[in-house]
Amino acid sequence: MNEMTKIAVQTTLKDWETDQEVRWCPGCGDYAILKAVQRTLPEISADPSNTVFVSGIGCSSRFPYYVESYGFHTIHGRAPAFATGIKLANPDLDVWLVTGDGDGMSIGGNHTMHILRRNVNVQILLFNNEIYGLTKGQFSPTSREGTNSPTSPLGSVDRPALPCAFALGSGARFIARAYDVSKNLPAVLKAAHAHKGAAFVEIFQNCIVYNKDRFADFVAKGVADQNQLWLTDGEPMLFGSEKSGGVKGIALDMDTLSLKVVDVAGGDWQAAGVIVHNVKNRAIAHMLVEMPFGPFPMALGVIYDDARPSYEDVLLGQDEQARKGKDANLAKLLGKGQTWTVSGTAADPI
Amino acid sequence: MATLVDGPDALTGGKESPTPEAVVVRFAGDSGDGMQLTGGQFTLSTALAGNDLATFPDFPAEIRAPQGTLFGVSAFQINFGSTEIDTAGDQPDVLVAMNPAALKTNVGALKVGGLIIADTGEFNKRNLEKAKYEINPLEDGSLEKWQLLAFDISALTLEAVKPFGLGNKEALRCKNMWTLGLALWMFDRDRQPLIDWLNAKFAKNPVLAEANIAALNAGHAYGETAELAGPLKQYHIAPVESEPGLYRTVTGAEAISLGLVAGAQLAELPMFFGGYPITPASAILHNLARLKEYGVTTFQAEDEIAAIASAIGASYAGQLGVTSSSGPGIALKGEAMGLAIMTELPLVIVNSQRGGPSTGLPTKTEQSDLYQAVYGRNGDAPMPVIASRSPSDCFEVAIEACRIAVEYMTPVMLLTDGYIANAAEPWKVPDPESFKPFPVTFLEEKNGPNGELLPFARDEKGARPWIKPGTPGLMHRIGGIEKNPGTGNIDYSPASHQIMTDARKAKVEGVANSIPLQEVNHGETSGKLVVVGWGSTYGPIYQAVRRARRKGLDVSHVHVRHIWPMPSNLGDLLKSYDKVLVPEMNTGQFKTVLRDQFLIDAQPLNKTSGQPFTIAEIEAAIVDTLGGHAGGEVDADKTQLPSIKSDNP
């Protein structure tokens, strides 16, 4: 059946649009993410018949309805568990999981942790808008301290969770970060798709109704240059430019074993001690996901990428091994153990 | 010895006989004494001797309760005989008590005149204190209404295994084999299968195998030499007359696992089992984890919700999704069940019920999840529910659950309980060829009249097509939001919700067209009284009705497998009796459903002590219900009687 689909499939952005009316608020960041995904899918030769979008509940989780592929809009927070069942039943399916900060970090935090530590081969897109949108603006697990909302009229006192730090702590082997309108989002999505295993992508998303411009500090034109650190494997960690107040870099402070911002004079980043990004360096990845915005720029792009065998490959491989040379004869199975035969009234033990 | 012949469950009369028709033996000891293992091996030897049997393992919730304590007592009861046995027996004829706590907690259940075998080696000051005995009961005459055989099993075991040079602790571990040897002698059993089993079990440590075999033989020899001296006698229980064929013993958990494997094969599907450990349901996950070659994938999820969600995901992807739990876990799965109902995906949910609410009584049995099964979800969420009545019945019921799930594209709940899950009985091994296959067909092409795809179009049964992701060209979206009746696209319009609610209801009700009409399990199709049961009350109801009918009472037994929807003739059948009595191990849940569905005056008989009904309790209730003219032969212990109360306002 899939003979044809194994060959690279040619599609265009249009092929990935459904006939369903998109129901996000006008101006919502989700539109930009949807377009980025629909632009990426043809570029990775994805086959709509073999692609499944799975989601939980929330604004982000309406996503599957708008992608012309197979889609399963499940229940709040549990999409990772559904996706795990799908991948174990049919590992050939290309599964994308769409979740939000409430869905994936609050009610479904448990499942997010387990799909990551198991390393199920899916792409997890967590749209982080730092607010509950669909329930009308309550603070979320990623909302900053002091967020005023209907449930926190005096300002929220909860400390926010860091999705990428959570993911790394859960054992994720791929961590990336981007934002809705970024031109680099398709490249990040491609890298996530290329990674075999659970790929975790946090996408900052602008909720124009309940949390407008929350990320303006680093996404707005004019500040982006100084406040975004785009990471590229093998390249020095540089940001800023001469016209925006100087080129800067991230260096390692050897006394405190922590990161620091250094000025790069005359393009000589080596002299300034700027680190070269190595996506396999887990220790630096920990520092990058914890790097506080303000004193530091926002780390974006592929932060960590070091593949390990996927869960379904290992588990199903183990099952396959267990099946080898074994006969699946049901009659034999039923008659297993200590049996006896009754002929007439006498019983003869076997 | 009068005790062994005086009317255990299956006895036909009260006349003394040197070869009793049935005997009830209870092994009780500390949870570290290996009583479950002793009971299990005695069960096997009983089965091999051709007796019919039923067992009741009763163990504490604690894995290693402090030694010698009252709450640390673990017991195993077996009823076996030369006639049909349906329950684990009301009262034991023989109690093997390995320590004072075991004696204290179990002797009350022993039939008057019954035999106590006690290990005096454990009746020391410390253990007596732990069991809250001020004076040694073996010495103060407090046990005189029973026959007492007390001797130092501990010392005799140590003596028997001396040549093997084991440490004191290890040597004492052989006590259960010594006791088993004595029990095998008492009932004239062959030791060889057990010796073979010990050799296999301790293949890597032959010294332990030899020590255990020596203990077994010593216990057996003790019986032979002590026979003349005391109350110990050898009994021979004739084999039961049963249908010719191959037999084995099976527990409910085993039979469910095998039935699920068979069901998946009959549906021609691989099976995906998502589970999370919980007592008493874990055994099903354990069993299936070892059956990979039968196309089974097992997944130990992070929690109950993930377990059912992964199973639904697997069903969505084209396998037969199965999940299993017990009451608290089933409660957690509720929302996901609603999604399976809403997206109309097949799924089997096994509920091994235990005492509740909340954590309740994890290791004790109850039937109190019937409301949860039938009604326990948000929205109008109809779902078929079926119940197994005995360990061996679980096999067929599991197949039936798979059939309904795939034929009707619906989740199905299979109700069993802690008693059935752990209890064993002989099982005539079925021929897999004798079951009618129900192969699944997946949709491969667009099914609409205008060449469009209609994922929620319905067949004559009301079921929608099953479409696997990966099928070329059939991309579509499903979810928990109300949908258009054909395309399945989001549609909250009033008309859509009305049509879809009706369609989901009609589909599940239509399952009744595919199930057999209700039969009368024992008795007549009309009369003064019908006792209606479901689940594991089958054994005691059946035997109680049998006894009552033998005394000339007009009473019949109807046992319902299909709880929701019910067989289409059930209402009319029940209305043909003057009275309806519903014994349940809950506060009257099925009774309420029967009243609601058929407007009949069903009367409850409830027991919520975490223990199964005894035959006597149900027989007494039959007599009461019929007006008490039964001849007063029922010797029921009032303290054990369940409360008979109506919750009619």
The one-digit pLDDT tens for each residue of chain A (350 residues) are 444 445 678 999 999 999 999 999 999 999 999 999 999 999 999 999 999 999 999 999 999 999 999 999 999 999 999 999 999 999 999 999 999 999 999 999 999 999 999 999 999 999 999 999 999 999 999 999 999 999 999 999 999 999 999 999 999 999 999 999 999 999 999 999 999 999 999 999 999 999 999 999 999 999 999 999 999 999 999 999 998 889 999 999 999 999 999 999 999 999 999 999 999 999 999 999 999 999 999 999 999 999 999 999 999 999 999 999 998 899 999 998 778 888 754 444 44
Instruction: Determine the pLDDT at residue B618.
Output: 95
Instruction: Determine the pLDDT at residue B14.
Output: 34
B259 within 8 A of B342, measured Cβ to Cβ: no
Name which of A55, A86, A113, A332 to mutate to probe chain B: the one with the most chain B Cβ atoms within 10 A of its Cβ.
A86
Distance from CA of B594 to the nearest CA of A (A): 33
Distance from CA of A180 to the nearest CA of B (A): 24
| Residue among B405, B594, B584 at smallest CA distance from B397 | B405
Q: What b-and-e string marks burial along B45-70, b requiring 16 or more CB atoms within 10 Å of the CB?
A: bbbbbbbbbbbbbbbbeeeebebbbe
Instruction: Determine the pLDDT at residue B648.
Output: 29
A245 touches chain B (CB under 8 A): no
Q: CB B471 to CB A49 under 8 A?
A: yes
Q: CB B306 to CB A75 under 8 A?
A: no
Domain boundaries, chain A: 3-231+277-313, 236-276
Note the pLDDT tens digit of each residue in B246-290.
Answer: 999 999 999 999 999 999 999 999 999 999 999 899 999 999 999
B200 touches chain A (CB under 8 A): no
Nearest residue on chain A to B433, judged by CA atoms? Answer: A331
| Residue among A25, A30, A41 at smallest CA distance from A96 | A41
Q: Which residue has the higher pLDDT, B371 or B40?
A: B371
| Residue among A209, A245, A203 at smallest CA distance from A224 | A245
Distance from CA of B21 to the nearest CA of A (A): 15
The single-letter code of the amino acid at B292 is: K
Q: CB A82 to CB B430 under 8 A?
A: no
Q: CB A328 to CB B270 under 8 A?
A: no
Nearest residue on chain A to B337, judged by CA atoms? Answer: A75
Structure tokens at B276: 């999370």
Asked if pLDDT for residue B61 goes beyond 90, the answer is no
Comparing CB atoms, the residue among B258, B318, B472 nearest residue A89 is B318
| Residue among B360, A263, B479, B363 at smallest CA distance from B372 | B360
Structure tokens at B56: 């009741």
Mean pLDDT calculated for residue range B7-35? 67
Q: What are phi and psi of A210, to 5 degrees?
A: -110, -15
Q: Which residues of B touch A115 (CB under 8 A)?
A: none
Asked if pLDDT for residue B242 goes beyond 70, the answer is yes
Q: CB B297 to CB A326 under 8 A?
A: no
Q: Which residues of A touch B299 (CB under 8 A)?
A: 84-85, 88, 315
Instruction: Determine the pLDDT at residue A344.
Output: 58
Instruction: Determine the pLDDT at residue B240.
Output: 86
Query: Using 50, 70 and 90 to split pLDDT, how confident is the model at B29?
Result: very high
Comparing CB atoms, the residue among A111, A326, A345 nearest residue B239 is A345
Counted across chains A and B, CB pairs separated by less than 8 A come out at 221
Q: Which residues of A touch B244 (CB under 8 A)?
A: 341-344
Fold for the domain defined by A3-231+277-313: Rossmann fold (3.40.50)
Q: CB A70 to CB B476 under 8 A?
A: yes
Q: Is B412 helix (H, G, I), strand (E, B) or coil?
A: strand
Note the pLDDT tens digit of each residue in B470-509.
Answer: 999 999 999 999 999 999 999 999 999 999 999 999 999 9
B162-B168-B169-B175 Cα dihedral, nearest 10 degrees = 40
Q: What b-and-e string marks burial along B204-232, b requiring 16 or more CB atoms within 10 Å of the CB?
A: eeeebbbbbbbbbbbbbebbeeeeeeeeb
Instruction: Determine the pLDDT at residue B268.
Output: 98
Comparing CB atoms, the residue among B48, B307, B433 nearest residue A340 is B48
Name which of A113, A117, A330 to mutate to probe chain B: the one with the most chain B Cβ atoms within 10 A of its Cβ.
A330
Q: CB A316 to CB B297 under 8 A?
A: yes
Distance from CA of A287 to the nearest CA of B (A): 29
Asked if pLDDT for residue B10 goes beyond 60, the answer is no
Q: CB B243 to CB A84 under 8 A?
A: no
A120 within 8 A of A87, measured Cβ to Cβ: yes
Asked if pLDDT for residue B455 goes beyond 50, the answer is yes
Q: CB B479 to CB A74 under 8 A?
A: yes
Q: Which residue has the higher pLDDT, B7 or B156?
A: B156
| Cβ atoms within 10 Å of A332's Cβ, excluding its own | 10
Q: Which residues of B touch A338 (CB under 8 A)?
A: 44, 47-48, 193, 248-249
Instruction: Determine the pLDDT at residue B239.
Output: 86
Distance from CA of B25 to the nearest CA of A (A): 22
Distance from CA of B442 to the nearest CA of A (A): 13
Asked if pLDDT for residue B8 goes beyond 60, the answer is no
Comparing CB atoms, the residue among A81, A90, A335 nearest residue B470 is A90
CA distances A297 to A207, A275, A280, A294, B373, Å, are 22, 15, 21, 7, 54
Distance from CA of B259 to the nearest CA of A (A): 9
Q: Which residues, numbered 246 to 265 in chain B, qualify as contacts with chain A under a Cβ-Cβ cut-off of 8 Å?
A: 246-249, 258, 261-262, 265
| Cβ atoms within 10 Å of B615's Cβ, excluding its own | 26
Instruction: Determine the pLDDT at residue A3.
Output: 45
Name which of B249, B299, B475 to mutate to probe chain A: the one with the most chain A Cβ atoms within 10 A of its Cβ.
B475
DSSP assignment of B316-356 equals HTTSEEEEEE-HHHHHHHHHHHHHHHHHT--EEEEEEE-B-
Q: CB B479 to CB A73 under 8 A?
A: yes
Distance from CA of B249 to the nearest CA of A (A): 8
Distance from CA of B425 to the nearest CA of A (A): 12
Mean pLDDT of chain B: 90
Structure tokens at B200: 């296999």
Note the pLDDT tens digit of each residue in B188-208.
Answer: 999 998 999 999 999 999 999
Nearest residue on chain A to B338, judged by CA atoms? Answer: A75
B429 touches chain A (CB under 8 A): yes
Asked whether the CA dihedral B58, B522, B250, A326 is positive or negative, the reply is negative
Query: Using 50, 70 and 90 to split pLDDT, how confident is the model at B449?
Result: very high
Q: Which residues of A touch B429 (CB under 8 A)?
A: 334-335, 339
Comparing CB atoms, the residue among A75, A111, A333 nearest residue B258 is A333
Q: CB B470 to CB A78 under 8 A?
A: no
Nearest residue on chain A to B472, judged by CA atoms? Answer: A49
Name which of A7, A38, A75, A318 to mutate to probe chain B: the one with the most chain B Cβ atoms within 10 A of its Cβ.
A75
Asked if pLDDT for residue B547 goes beyond 60, the answer is yes
Asked if pLDDT for residue B594 goes beyond 60, the answer is yes
Q: CB B313 to CB A1 under 8 A?
A: no
Instruction: Determine the pLDDT at residue B230.
Output: 66
Q: Is B481 helix (H, G, I), strand (E, B) or coil?
A: coil
Q: Which residues of A touch B239 (CB under 8 A)?
A: 345-347
Q: Which residues, numbered 272 to 301 in chain B, qualify as contacts with chain A under a Cβ-Cβ cut-off of 8 Å?
A: 272, 274, 291-295, 297, 299, 301
Residue with tokens 């040197």: B18
Q: Which residues of B touch A2 (CB under 8 A)?
A: 470, 472
Cα B503 from chain centre: 35
Distance from CA of B79 to the nearest CA of A (A): 18
Q: CB A349 to CB B190 under 8 A?
A: yes
Q: CB B299 to CB A85 under 8 A?
A: yes
Q: Which residues of A touch B310 (CB under 8 A)?
A: 81-82, 84-85, 88
pTM for this predicted structure: 0.91
| Residue among A316, A61, A79, A54 at smallest CA distance from B305 | A79
